[in-house]
Amino acid sequence: MIFASFVFSKTQCQTPSLSSTVNIPSNSNLQTKKDYLDYLSTKYGWTFSYNASQLNVDGAIRLPNQISSIQSVLEQIFPENELQITFQQPKKIILQTKGLKQKTYFLSGNITDKVSGESIFGAIIIDNNSGKQVLSNEKGYYIMELPKGNVDLEIDYIAYKKTKQIITIDRDLKLNFELENDNLLDTIRIQNPKSRVQLIDGGHFIDVFKSQECNAIIGEKDIITNTRILPGVQSGGEGMSGIFVRGGTPDQNLILMEGVALYETSHLAGISSIFMDECIKEGSFIRNGFPARYGGRLSSVLDVQLKEGSKVSHNVSMTAGLPGAKLNLNGPIMGGKLTYLLSARTSWVNFYVNNLLKKYTKYDDIAISYHDILGKITKHFSPSNSISLTFYNGSDRLSLSKFSSLDDENDFQLNIYDKNGVNWGNTVASLRWNLLASDKVSLKFQTGIINYKNGTRSSYKFESIHPDKTKIDELDVITRSNITDINFRGDADFYFNDQHVIRTGFNFMNQNFNPTVKQSAIILEGDAENIVEKDSLIKANTAQFYIEDNYRVLPSVMAYGGFHFATYTQASQTYNSLQPRLKVIWSPHKNHMVTAAYSQMTQFLHLLSNTGLGLPSDLWVPSTRLIAPQHSTQWSANYTFNIAESTYINLGGFSKNSAIP
């Protein structure tokens, strides 16, 4: 009562207007619209003028207890009318109606593959009557607000037959669509440049897996190879792994597999990646206009989502080629309530590479091998509620050895033993829960762990044999980079209306680094793994939070703004980073599109490369009190003009400023 009296006194003292504050109590005596108007007249002295034939003041209504402006209260009393509220001095309000508001309802559902039951990410759902269009999300879910009446729906996705359906909507509806695959495609003509940008996600997403047909050196389709033909993306040259994006280095690329960040993704110096194309559902590559939900690297993001397995039938495929063999299994269990995916790849390069290459190298024996094992099992509680568990293990091994001997006429002999080896491996596990909490709220929780090991070892032994003595000199150079990450992530998508889709979430990561470099005058006993310095363990924690808004400013203007906040702690040192992100897309005409983006990024990791004695080695180390994080600021702009149906010009530029300690 004290607070209400204060508000009332303040209202009486100020000049009356539509923004004047009133207190609406929880009063059971107020049951109709006229009761509320009478209450406002008695309590605050307002005089209301209206046409009773246009406004139904006798209708029943109940308002919640609130303190709000008089205009807001009147709009709540007449929610079904397009009100025109006019204020006249001293305290008169004229209420007029332009008619009844157009009633709208929500249409939602899932887009899936008709044969496999896999959800389809990025399908376009269009209502040809209202012109509204949306995209399905990672789980194939879509939601759109439509006016009451006939709806002419059209669902389209590349490599699938276009689906059309006309319905009448007079209430909130759920409508699922199963798209039929169409492998025989007509010639594709790009008529509208907007189709190259996924407007629902904010970043400049490129589906590098499905949009390109470039193969790796060994003849397989490869997602990493496909990124290298994009503008601003380069490989490091022959025999080098990783990609260099807009002047960045390979360690500045965030590569995610089912939400887990990877440190190494290449086999055999970059001739193939660890991703098997049979398992990939989506692979989106971002090099500018980064959405706020991504953080931790400076140059690019490659987000790879894996298939869940067919809900309809069991499928088996096996391929064999020059590098090795692959096996892929997937299908349903328990009538489709459970699906599985299992893929394995192994190399047999080792059987012939020794005889093929040793004549061109100085080594007597060459051994090369790699393997990948990937499994995913998904429990489908409903089309909008599922839990999936993913496991991956892969590794590379390269060994080079040589023995040489020199003799002279004085019975002097020099024996040289040279052995070099490099190996690395990933073990990844990820548990994800996708839940549609309501028609407007989508939730996703993920926890994962990665154990990454990378090491090189170069051992040299020089044996000098004289007639009267023998001398032995040895050198052993060992590097190891062992990392264990555990992360927990939560994301929420809120669909407010056609103008706003809010995304927010957090990610917490615990990291353990164990970099080791050893150089010994004697060859150490045991494997390199057992010689790792346990005292060199470095522990770090990173917490990330983000919020982003996908905002349709005008029918021709989309804006994606957000903030990514990260706090990093190592020992007693803490670094905080607030990273604003903004991207604007303007399409004044169907043949013209202009985009502009601004991103700030922070990276708390550093890759130290050694090209000295022995094989090149990579050591990952975190930021510490002595090593500050890396920062980058990037501006970019792009203009696309369609000259004709099959011809367009794309002009773009960027400015990138990196601060690397």
Q: Do both 394 and 469 map to the same domain?
A: yes
Out of 53, 73, 100, pick the residue that ends a domain: 100
Q: Which residues of 10-23 are buried (b: 16+ CB within 10 A; e: fewer)?
A: eeeeeebeeebbbb
Q: Do both 33 and 169 map to the same domain?
A: no
Give residue 294's pLDDT: 94
Residue 259 lies in a domain: no
Burial (0-12, 13-18, 19+ Cβ within 10 Å), 521? exposed
Q: Do both 527 and 562 map to the same domain?
A: yes
- What one-character DSSP code corresponds to residue 388? E
Residue 395 lies in a domain: yes
Q: Do both 483 and 553 map to the same domain?
A: yes
Give residue 236's pLDDT: 63
Give residue 203's pLDDT: 56
CA distance 494 to 201: 13
Residue 195 lies in a domain: no
Q: Which residues of the chain have pLDDT under 70?
A: 1-16, 28, 183-220, 236-241, 269-270, 354, 357-360, 409, 526-534, 610-616, 645-646, 661
Q: Do both 576 and 515 map to the same domain?
A: yes
Tokens of 14: 């100020």
Q: Do both 72 and 125 map to the same domain?
A: no
Out of 83, 100, 117, pick the residue that ends a domain: 100
Give residue 191's pLDDT: 44
Q: Which residues of 27-45 are buried (b: 16+ CB within 10 A; e: fewer)?
A: eeebebbbbbbebbeeebe
Give residue 399's pLDDT: 85
The phi and psi torsions of 78 (rounded to 5 degrees) equal -120, 65
Residue 456 lies in a domain: yes
- CA distances, 268 to each of 200, 214, 235, 337, 527 (Å): 37, 18, 14, 39, 22
CA distance 560 to 412: 75
Q: Do both 551 and 631 map to the same domain?
A: yes
Q: Do both 80 and 120 map to the same domain?
A: no
What is the Cβ-side half-sphere exposure of residue 565, based on CA atoms within 13 angstroms? 6
Give residue 121's pLDDT: 81
The neighbour count for residue 565, using CB atoms within 10 Å, is 17
Residue 9: alpha-carbon gap to chain centroid: 53
User: What secondary structure, in 3-state letters, does 184-203 show?
Assistant: CCCCCCCCCHHHHCCCCCCC
Instruction: Give me the CATH number covering residue 8.
Output: 3.55.50.30
CA distance 238 to 235: 8
The phi and psi torsions of 111 (rounded to 5 degrees) equal -110, 120
Q: Give the DSSP per-residue string, 433-483.
A: EEEEEETTEEEEEEEEEEEEEEEEEEEEEEEEE-SS-EEEEEEEEEEEEEE
Q: Do both 154 and 36 map to the same domain?
A: no
Q: Do both 78 and 128 map to the same domain?
A: no
Residue 294 lies in a domain: no
Give residue 209's pLDDT: 55
Residue 371 lies in a domain: yes
Give residue 195's pLDDT: 39
Instruction: Give me the CATH number covering residue 365.
Output: 2.40.170.20
pTM flag (> 0.85): no
Out of 123, 154, 188, pick the residue that ends a domain: 188
**CA-wise closest residue to 37 among 3, 5, 85, 1:** 85
Residue 22 lies in a domain: yes
Check the CA dihedral 212-213-216-220 and report its sign.
positive
Instruction: Give me the CATH number covering residue 184.
Output: 2.60.40.1120
Residue 422 lies in a domain: yes
Give residue 528's pLDDT: 59
Structural domain harbouring 83: 2-100
For the segment 233-268, what is each residue's pLDDT rounded down to a tens digit? 887 654 456 788 888 888 999 999 999 999 988 887
Q: Do both 505 and 360 map to the same domain?
A: yes
How many structural domains does the chain have? Answer: 3
Q: Do both 175 and 88 map to the same domain?
A: no
